[in-house]
Amino acid sequence: MKSDPFLIEVRDRAYDVERNLELLLEDVRNSIQFRMAREAEAQARFSRDAVVSSHRLNILAALFLPPTAITSLFGMNLAHGLSERNPVWFWMVFVGGVALGVLLKGWVTVRPQRPS
């Protein structure tokens, strides 16, 4: 049977088909890995953009929180309390709010150290 040309031809075709399928499988694996890497890069880009946006929002909150607190303090109409007491209390609350705002702004704008 070793010299039968039909069997030899079928064996060679089977080998060619097997080799082509192995090449196709390897190509598909490479394509899948490439797409996964591309999607991971896009996800990392979106995550970075989200972090930058949330950082900007935190800075805005840190900038506008103290003025909001101060304006609410100035807008108070108290029947008794700060209006009847020594104005030193008012200025202490005012300076405390400004100091808290500066501290909050400093805390938000500090960049975290990257691990090495």
The per-residue pLDDT for range 67-110, each reduced to its tens digit, is: 887 778 777 665 555 556 677 777 887 788 788 878 877 777 77
Residue 1's pLDDT band (cuts 50, 70, 90) = low
Residue 34's pLDDT band (cuts 50, 70, 90) = very high
Domain boundaries, the chain: 5-109
What is the token pair recorded at 5?
Answer: 């040309």
- Tell me: pLDDT of 114 over 90: no
Residue of higher predicted confidence among 17 and 95: 17
90 neighbors 82 (Cβ within 8 angstroms): yes
Residue of higher predicted confidence among 111 and 57: 57
Buried b (16+ CB within 10 A) or exposed e, 18-31: eeeeeeeeeeeeee
Give the pLDDT score at 79.
Answer: 58
